[in-house]
Copies of this chain bind each other. A is one copy, B any other.
Amino acid sequence: MTLIPGPMNVEPQSLEALIAEFAGLPGIGQKTARRLAYHMLTRSKADVERFSNNMLNAAEKVHPCPKCHGFTDQEVCPICASRVGAKSICVVEKSSDIVPFERSGIYKGLYFVLGGVISPLDGIGPEHLHLPELVERIKTEGIEELVLALGSSPEADSTALMIDRMLAGVNVKRTRLARGIPMGSDLEFVDEVTMLRAFEGRVSL
C-alpha cells in the first residue's frame, strides 16, 4: 500500500478565490460563501458569463445622481429629472432606502442621499456626508418640507440634529418618520425602545 498523505486542502485555488470573493460581501459568512461558490460551479458557462457581465455592466453604468446622489444610469436620475418643482425633499442615508418609499407610493417628492450618518467611532464626520449640498438644494429650490428618514440609531439622531442646526434661519418645515409598532408585529416581541416610542407617540382615536 502506498504512502497516504495527511489531510489536504481539497479546494482548487480558483475555487478558493471565488469563495473569498463571496465571503467579502456584507453579511455573507465563510459557510455561505462556500455554498455559493460551489453552486456557481454547477451553473452552465453561459449562466456564469451572464452573471459576471451583469456585475461589470452595473458597476460601469450606474453612478450617483449629481443632484440627489441616488444611484442611476442616466445623467440625472429619473426622480430628480421628473419631479422638478416638487417642494419636499426626503433625506435618506443610502440609495437603497429610496426603494421602500417609491414602492409604497405615499411620497411624490424629491430625495437626497446623505451617504451615511455621522459616526465618530467609524471615522465618519460631517465632512464625509453631502450636508452642504443638501442645504444648498433646500435654499435654491425653495423646498418647503424636509422629511428626515435616517433610521433610529443615536448616530441618525445626531445627524438629524446637525442638519437642523445647519438649517438655522432657513424657512423649511422639518419632519421625521413616525416611530412605533411595525405592521404585523406581535406586541409580545416588541423591543423596549420601540414600545417606549410607540407609547410616547400614541394618538387619540
Contact with B along A82-105 (1 / 0, CB 8 A): 111111000000111011001111
**A185 interface hit (Cβ, 8 Å):** no
Q: Is the CB of B59 within 8 A of A5?
A: no
Q: Which residue of B lies closest to A101 (CB)?
A: B7
Copies of the chain in the assembly? 2
**Binding site of A, secondary structure by majority: helix, strand, loop or mixed?**
helix
Q: Is the CB of B40 within 8 A of A35?
A: no
* Cα distance, A52 to B56, chains bound together (Å): 7
| Chain A interfacial residues counted at CB < 8 A | 73
Q: Which residue of B lies closest to A109 (CB)?
A: B4
Known: A4-B108, A36-B26, A52-B52. A61 touches B14 (CB 8 A): yes
Chain B min CB distance to A28 (Å): 8
Seen from chain A, the residues whose Cβ lies within 8 Å of a Cβ on chain B are 1-2, 4-15, 17-18, 20-21, 25-28, 32, 34-41, 43, 45, 48-62, 70-74, 77-79, 82-87, 94-96, 98-99, 102-105, 108-109
